[in-house]
Amino acid sequence: MINFAHRGASGNFPENTLLAFEKAINIKVSGIELDVHKTKDNRLVVIHDEDIERTFYGKGLVKDFTLEELKKFKCRKELFRDNEKCKIPTLEEVLDLTRKADLILNIEIKTDNIHYKGIEKDVIDLINRYSLRNRVILSSFNHETIQICKKIDKDVATGMLYDEPIENVVEYAKRIKVNAIHPSKDLVSKELIEEAHKNNILVNIYTVNEIDDMKRLKEYNANGLFTDYPEILKEIF
Ligand code: G3P
């Protein structure tokens, strides 16, 4: 089962920062999950929300700032405020850090609210430039984004995120030709995982922070869990 550090080791360190990713690598996780948006000057940056306000001292949308402007914002977690590794990283910086580690990278393309022009191709070009294509899963809540990824590269691994029940979800996943479903943990049953597996579809589940859930979902044969506490998941298995 893949232990995906969700936004890095984000339970104890500022999410989606080089520090959180470095901490995840240090504990030898088998996967890292991160979120990608595009800046005003068309650069891929790693941050969860469209707006920087929740995680950084500042206000405004990622798409309205240049990379240089974004780099000036300090992280909101007081202890890490002046830590250089806690600025908004580019996807390239994260790939530079993670490329040598033996892990799967789940890149969530954040087109849920804003569909950044060409983001799918930009991400795929970059992972090819880093020769990381075979170690990457591209996921999104926006299933059109997943289909665009498949059009660009039919063999790239994809994960379909969802947080509301979808009728006949395995059939739907097959129809849109994803490799994995990525449901919220409350939408998962043993039967769902069995049905997905029978149809050659993997099941990676988010966000699993409770030990009881980790144990239960491992017993159900989940393929991967996204957790803010990868060190705990590692310790119990
Ligand atoms: O990719 C798994 C998980 O990160 C999806 O939810 O809201 O954290 O992007 P969210």
Q: Which helix (H) or strand (E) holds 226?
A: strand 224-227
Distance 144 CA to ligand 1 centre (A): 17
Q: What angle do CA 211, 217, 223 make, to 5 degrees?
A: 120
- Say what the pLDDT of residue 147 is: 97
- Say what the pLDDT of residue 65 is: 98
User: Mutation test of ligand 1: which of 108, 145, 229 has the most ligand atoms closer than 8 Å to its C-beta?
Assistant: 108
Q: Residue 186, Cα to own-chain centre: how many angstroms?
A: 18
> Helix (H, G, I), strand (E, B), or coil: what is residue 41?
coil
- Say what the pLDDT of residue 3 is: 98
d(CA 74, CA 83): 8
d(CA 140, CA 28): 25
Query: Which positions of the chain have pLDDT values less than 50?
Result: none
Distance 130 CA to ligand 1 centre (A): 24
This prediction's pTM: 0.98
> What dihedral do alpha carbons 86, 133, 104, 193 form, nearest 10°?
130
Q: Which of 27, 50, 26 is nearest to 38 (CA)?
A: 50
- Look over the chain and give the mean of its residue pLDDT values, rounded to a whole number: 98
Contact 217, 185 (CB under 8 A): yes
d(CA 142, CA 126): 20
Pairing of the two strands 104-109 and 31-38: parallel
226 lines ligand 1 (CB under 6 A): yes
The 10s digit of each residue's pLDDT in 115-161 is 999 999 999 999 999 999 999 999 999 999 999 999 999 999 999 99
